[in-house]
Amino acid sequence: MNKIHKKYTMTVLALLMAGLLAGCDEAKNPTPITTEVPISKESSTELEEHATDEKPSMTESSATEEPTETSAPYNPVADGYPALKADGRSWGLAYRETGLQPWGNETSKNLAEYNAYYVGAANENVIYLTFDCGYENGNTDAILTALKTHDVKATFFVTGHFLETESELAKRMVEEGHTVGNHSYNHPDITKLDEAAFKEELNSVKKKFNEVTGAEISMYFRPPEGICYSQTLKWSKDMGYATVLWSLAYVDWYTDNQPMPEDAIATLTKRIHPGALVLLHNTSQTNAEILDQLITKWEEMGYTIKPLSDLVG
């Protein structure tokens, strides 16, 4: 490996280790489970091996080249820590300079083969706002109110537990024109499921949502903890779902250690980028407190929040 490739690989992987995030929320137990991403010792070792043994599939000149495609295929991180690896991977990101789309640990091009998405067009100041709803702890009402104030339509990914315990909130989401997607019934590690069990998780949410709201759930799926691989992506695609990952998130899921509102706003404005697919958690008190101000700041930065259907169709 030449010096430029080696140096660049080490830099990218260092960014990935610093920026790796995955969605977390609770399926049935209102005590939050430790889900998102801290990289395990095993995966950290693997990343170190990639940094020394593998080089990105790019030329020296492409190291600083910016993407020109609407959802740029250029992505060196995916070579070192691919999400589609056979044994499954949590979705991870390496954030770049403000205003640039982050690298995910798989390319948009490869994800598209499975009807999966993590970012929109690189040349449009558009945001797609999504929330993971594993359970309710008193913040969703304020989130919905802030969205209504700005006439913004978001997407809520719900679990079976949320639908069982918060039917009125689910109905309100529908009544106020939001999209509701599937986050699995029990929030399992889907890489441990066979095909039948995987389909049961999704079908149970679909059935319960219809029972609770009288509406049909939108055919969008967010894997619990962002864990996915080629087989589960194929199964969800075969069921008619688009898998929806994300290109912007932050540590908002520890209910007993919430970020300060000013820090959260600083992070979410610094990391915003064209085509951002934003993941927030409904369990975050900080998110409920800042959402009105955050949307205003994004709008002042020239961004428009559009429904997920504009990206996925």
Alpha carbons 198 and 208: distance in angstroms, whole number:
16
The answer to whether 281 is a known catalytic residue is: yes
Please give the distance of CA 256 from its chain centroid, rounded to a whole number: 22
Read off the amino acid at residue 191.
T
| Contact between 274 and 298 (Cβ < 8 Å) | no
Sign of the torsion formed by the C-alpha atoms of 216, 128, 282 and 298: negative
H or E segment to which residue 231 belongs: helix 230-238
Backbone angles phi, psi at 218, to 5 degrees: -75, 145
The tokens for 20 are 């790796």
**List 5, 25, 50, 132, catalytic entry:** 132
Residues in the chain: 313
Out of 5, 161, 273, 281, which one is annotated catalytic?
281
In DSSP terms, 244 is beta-bridged to 117
* DSSP 3-state of 150: helix
Backbone angles phi, psi at 20, to 5 degrees: -65, 125
Q: Give me the DSSP letters along 77-88.
A: HHHHS-TT-TT-
Q: How far is CA 76 from the centre of its chain?
A: 19
Residue among 237, 160, 236 at smallest CA distance from 193: 236
The CA distance from 277 to 201, in Å, is 24
End-to-end CA gap in the chain: 42
- The set of catalytic residues is 132, 281
